[in-house]
Amino acid sequence: MRDFTNLYWRLDATTSTNEKVAALRDYFRAAAPDDAACALAVLRGDRQPRAVSTARLREWAAAAAGLPAWLVEECYAHVGDLAETLALILPEPDGAAAADAGRGAGNADPGLAAVVRETVHGLRDAPEDRAREVVTAVWRRLAPRERIVWHKLVTGGLRVGVSRTLVARALAEIAGVEPAVMAHRLMGDAALDGAGFARLLAPESGAGDDRRPYPFFLAAALDRTAPAALAEDLGPAVEWQAEWKWDGMRAQIVRRGADVAVWSRGEELVNEAFPEIAAAGLALPPGTVLDGELLAVRDGRLLGFAALSKRASRTRATRQVLAEVPCAFVAYDLLEAGGVDVRGRPLAERRAGLERLVTSVFTDTGAGAAAGPGPFLSPVVAGDSWEHLAAARATSRDRGVEGLMLKRRSSPYGTGRTRGDWWKWKIDPLEIDVVLLYAQAGHGRRAGLHSDYTLGVWHDGKLVTVAKAYSGLTDAEIVEIDRIVRATTVEKHGPVRICTPTLVFQMAFEGVSASTRHKSGVAVRFPRLVRWRRDKRPADAGTLAELRGMIR
């Protein structure tokens, strides 16, 4: 546990790519295989189980520290990070001097895998008294800096400031293989245990898992979107393939041997959530991998991402959900054909192979969208000039799509977000003026500053909450807003402050849909603040009726 804690803080202390890779390389070279496999799952962002709720940790830590609950909440509001708050208020561990010297607290330091097995997986279904006993024992053993990391582990909220690309690069250096090879090995459920981690570092490629997908190639957002600017930045439009940017979920269908696997971009196997897509994949010839989009389509109409998320969030799709949110797979790239990796071939060649393999073209309008699970072929948007493509992009919102994708016809299929060959030319966001209702202290470098905002609009003479936003303002503006929040606070609930409505912001978002899960009846997608409207009063903010009018 101590070695992983040291890695966590070493990564947290630097923004240097080379230093992060060096820290990862040093840790994985020295770690026991089981510990390395466990660390890898955390570093690459796998879903983490929660063994103990934050409410219980608060209660138990307050009792252990001899502090009232309200004082713990005040400390949390000041620190801004619950894991750090609890680590700081707890009594010093047994053998504190030895712990501070880096020698632990008098007992042999357990490895990360043992800690996760005993205090995360082992406590998920444990009675409360047993869980409290284990948690208290861990607190007595760990130094404060180790407690912070462990608190995040046991609550399922440990996030480490390192990308998968850097993890793959560090492991590739250890294994003596190319980073792209390691990135592919890391896809799916690789390295679940020590034996799997050892296979990951094998210098020679093995048979591998036939279900494993390829690393996804990601597009970058265009900085300039006017046709003249695109001609200057990208060259002639005829050198680019334009497609609709679908409002769905990125996925790969992997058809090898007698099996089919459907993988999300988050590297989750989603066969159970999308059984009709997996069944449709059996029609593909063995040795085929398609990259594309999962879309929710019912009665010839695209339903959008909000509907699709009902499927994606379920471990297994019920009959009712299958009937309410039928889905289709739209393919836009061919990654493997006849068992041969074709990612290095030009897009124009891969597209020709895809069109020979998938002949049913997905109807690209909201009305009359193709029925059935597919696979369907994503249509190419016609246009021999940037002006023609801009005109097509202008119809995106009516079609239920997010804009255009631009892909260089000569480009290979890359790994990760490589700028230059794939671009997303999204439509302009929707916007509305909103009022700040609640503010919460941020985390990391914003700890102690109220930088997480709950925002509202008017309805029947009252302000109703419609979104939360965390980005879009400058550091100087956040400091100034923090002072106003503190001065206008009318009520406090832990780190959350209810404020007198005085601040108005312009909020941008990608879309809005009806929602039964929100009191306002609407859910906005990807909200962020565009600017602080100092020129407006709360009475000038938008209304719920305006938001509802933006629903497709």
Give the span between the Cα atoms of 139 and 509, in whole angstroms: 43
What is the number of other CB atoms lying within 10 angstroms of the CB of residue 350?
A: 22
Contact 290, 338 (CB under 8 A): no
Neighbouring-strand partners of residue 507: 432, 529
* Structure-token pair, residue 220: 């970058």
pLDDT confidence of residue 80: 73
Contact 256, 297 (CB under 8 A): no
pLDDT along the chain (552 residues), means of 10: 90 88 92 89 81 90 91 81 89 62 52 87 85 90 90 87 83 83 70 79 64 88 88 93 93 89 83 90 94 89 81 77 90 95 96 95 62 89 92 88 94 87 90 93 70 92 91 88 92 85 92 82 88 92 90 75
pLDDT confidence of residue 247: 87
pLDDT confidence of residue 300: 75
3-state SS assignment for residue 425: strand
pLDDT confidence of residue 308: 86
Give the span between the Cα atoms of 65 and 58, in whole angstroms: 10
Contact 98, 173 (CB under 8 A): no
Give the span between the Cα atoms of 182 and 167, in whole angstroms: 9
CA distances from 18 to 6, 122, 517, 521 (A): 17, 37, 44, 47
* Structure-token pair, residue 520: 């306002």
HSE of 209, CA atoms in CB hemisphere, 13 A: 20
* Structure-token pair, residue 545: 């009726």
Give the span between the Cα atoms of 41 and 4, in whole angstroms: 12
Give the span between the Cα atoms of 154 and 150, in whole angstroms: 6
β-strand pairing of 288-298 with 327-337:
antiparallel
pLDDT confidence of residue 97: 39
Give the span between the Cα atoms of 1 and 195, in whole angstroms: 20
Contact 385, 237 (CB under 8 A): yes
Residue with tokens 């050892």: 198
Give the span between the Cα atoms of 219 and 402, in whole angstroms: 14
Task: Annotate 372-409 with DSSP letters as a single string.
Answer: SS--EEPPBPP-SSHHHHHHHHTTHHHHT--EEEEEET
Residue with tokens 């959900």: 321
Give the span between the Cα atoms of 164 and 159, in whole angstroms: 12
Contact 299, 285 (CB under 8 A): no
Kind plus residue range of the DSSP H or E element containing 124? none
pLDDT confidence of residue 423: 95
Separation of CA 381 from chain center: 29
pLDDT confidence of residue 502: 94
Kind plus residue range of the DSSP H or E element containing 362? none
3-state SS assignment for residue 318: coil
